[in-house]
Structure 1
Amino acid sequence: MSSPASPGLIGSPSTSTARSELAGWAALALTLLIWAGFFISLRAGARAALPPAELALLRFGPAGLLLAPLLWRRRARFAALPARLWLLIVAGAGLPYFLIAGWGMRHAPVVDGATLIPGTLPLFTALLAAALHGRQALARWPALLCIAAGVATMLALKSGQAGLAQGYGLFLLGSLMWSAYTLALREARLAPLEAAALISTVSLALLLPWLFWQLGQGPLVLPTLSSDQLLLQVLLQSVGVGLVSTLSYGYAVARLGAQRSTSMGALTPVLASLLAVPLFGELPEAASLVGMGLIVAGVLWSQRQVR
């Protein structure tokens, strides 16, 4: 009779691990598609009419209201977390991160944000992990350098343009914040729904005073959007980014780990660029193709090194 650890035995630990990883990869693939779609929608100009605070209301409002009861029911669970962890989770994926990224896109093209924020995630995650857990986190440094070279190549076409430095600095800060969130989420061991409740509800509570202040300055722009624009933003921000991607990314981190998840996140600009071809007729230039190739190579290389 086969032992419990036999590879071919149904329900064996190896089979369960393989199924768990497969589910993690599926969740991560869904996350990347939503992230790419988010940047594509910004490139289409749907976001341009909305101030950051009003777009944040779409992002955190429905999810925050829906998940507030869960936050209350699990309040003992959240209270047991070190303050450092839930602060990093809320700041790194909630309202502070959202506003940093939004302000960055006021100073630089959105495609640059789609490249810099997800593209540098593996680098920042590895550096933070090395600072916290030792230099073994940098064992994949050749793959990380390959990803960095791809990001630099994709941005090379923008060199020499004035006014981009501030936007690039904000994008890099946003990427660092998201990396800290990913590591904190892994350490906190929150269920995906718990993480979504914490991020969305606390972010909504932080946002409301700002919105009341903005109402005193003049009418909101949100009600003036066309029904098509409003529906697009609700589906993308509230449902896609606010609920689905928060849950799917948390699930992927729990199944695959922080560094594997952020490494695959570097594929977001590649997906966004590929989607732009049929949607906008934008063909990548030679430098962009080389950069995307380096990013893909670095991501695949890093996954082999995580085995």
Structure 2
Amino acid sequence: MSRTSAVAMNSATESRLVGVTSALATVTIWAAWLIVTRYAMTSDFTAVDIGLLRFVVPFVLLAPIWLKRGIWPKGLSIANGLIMLVGSGAFYTLLVASALQYVPASHVGILLPGVMAVWAVLIAVVMFGERPGWVRLTGYATVITGIVLLAVLKPGHSAGSTILYGYGLVSAGAFMWACYTHAMRQSGLGALEAAAFVGFWSFVIMAVVALFTGTHILDAPMDDVLLLLVTQGLLAGCVAVVTYGLAVRHIGSTGASAFGAMTPALTALGGVFLLGEEGNLALAIAVALVIFGVMVASGVFRKVWR
């Protein structure tokens, strides 16, 4: 092997290592966001408190970006901007946080990415005329099977209207995130620019809401406040934006999506072992079906086969 080939191989190996490490960091942060939100919603915090702590960090840390680009970036349409704010900002956070008051994190970790994937393809078909092939449709059907299993059996939970209400909130949140995904692609903004835009306006919205509802942050234990600031604001609001971008750059969007499918498993494990949520075979099967379905729908197996 020539020296040039060896250097190229080492470079490719290092690049893939960076991509895999970044992808693992991203899905861990996503799972931690759900687990910590569930913990907060069952302790001293309200959804408004979580929203304030979620967006104050990107509001401050990403200030150089929104100060440079403006609080409404040039070229960003009103429609796309509003969809991005509703789909991933203050309203999305309030909705998902409210759902986690009724639904275990282990369930939300399955429902949110699974339902979002289904909503995303439905929007693409209706709005943009996409026609997914039978392989992708099989993946979505597998995701739906896992979601139905979770909803019908409600593993680890007794039947009741409150958990079904929570499922409805999660499904609405998944729809909002799917809309954000399409709007983000059309916005022309980079990942950090989008995070700065959403972070600025979401913090402003949450601050206005807090003026009317009040906040419990000052009365909450300082350790819990710091936990939310780090996991919600710093990690989910800023770090995950960078790590996911690195993952896409080094292992491609398909590879990054495949790792993203690990979120249900990590969230379920965290819910069971960290929060003491109940788990059983039905929950494990639902996790496996959603992970497999998301990976098939993302085209991972087709790429490997080729």
TM (normalized to structure 1)? 0.81
> Aligned equivalents of 2:151 and 2:137: distance in 1?
21
Are residue 145 (structure 1) and residue 144 (structure 2) matched? no
Distance 1:81 1:24, change over 3 A: farther
- Across the two proteins, how many residue pairs are aligned to each other? 294
Distance 1:153 1:48, change over 3 A: same
Q: Which runs of 5+ in 2 are unaligned?
A: none
Q: Which residue of 2 aligns with 1:305?
A: 302
Q: Which residue of 2 aligns with 1:102?
A: 97
> Aligned equivalents of 1:108 and 1:278: distance in 2?
16
* Match runs of 1:219-298 below 5 Å: 220-249=215-244, 256-257=252-253, 264-280=259-275, 284-298=279-293
Are residue 41 (structure 1) and residue 36 (structure 2) matched? yes
Distance 1:47 1:283, change over 3 A: closer
SS at 1:136's partner residue? coil
> Aligned equivalents of 2:165 and 2:104: distance in 1?
12
- Report the alpha carbon displacement of residue 46 of structure 1 after superposing the two structures with TM: 6.5
Q: Percent identity?
A: 27
> Aligned equivalents of 1:37 and 1:96: distance in 2?
20
Structure 2 contact 103–166 (Cα < 8 Å) conserved: yes
Distance 1:122 1:55, change over 3 A: same
* Match runs of 1:1-307 below 5 Å: 26-45=21-40, 48-75=43-70, 78-137=73-132, 139=134, 140-158=136-154, 160-215=159-214, 220-249=215-244, 256-257=252-253, 264-280=259-275, 284-302=279-297, 303-305=300-302
Q: Which amino acid aligns with 1:304?
A: F
Q: Give per-residue Cα distances to partners, 1:56-93, cap 9 Å, x unaligned.
A: 11001121123233112113982212222222222111
SS at 2:146's partner residue? helix
Distance 1:43 1:75, change over 3 A: closer
SS at 1:135's partner residue? coil
Q: Which runs of 5+ in 1 are unaligned?
A: 1-7
Structure 2 contact 142–293 (Cα < 8 Å) conserved: yes
**Cα RMSD (Å) of the superposition?**
3.2
> Aligned equivalents of 1:270 and 1:33: distance in 2?
10
- Report the alpha carbon displacement of residue 241 of structure 1 after superposing the two structures with TM: 1.4
SS at 1:163's partner residue? helix
> Aligned equivalents of 2:133 and 2:249: distance in 1?
21
> Aligned equivalents of 1:101 and 1:129: distance in 2?
23
> Aligned equivalents of 1:126 and 1:11: distance in 2?
38
SS at 1:120's partner residue? helix
Distance 1:83 1:264, change over 3 A: farther
Structure 2 contact 89–202 (Cα < 8 Å) conserved: yes
Structure 1 contact 57–204 (Cα < 8 Å) conserved: yes
Q: Which amino acid aligns with 1:295?
A: V
Q: Which amino acid aligns with 1:129?
A: A
Q: Give per-residue Cα distances to partners, 1:194-229, cap 9 Å, x unaligned.
A: 1110110011122222122234xxxx3111122221
> Aligned equivalents of 1:128 and 1:254: distance in 2?
26
> Aligned equivalents of 1:196 and 1:229: distance in 2?
24
SS at 1:56's partner residue? helix
Q: Give per-residue Cα distances to partners, 1:233-269, cap 9 Å, x unaligned.
A: 1111111112112333455567744x87666544322
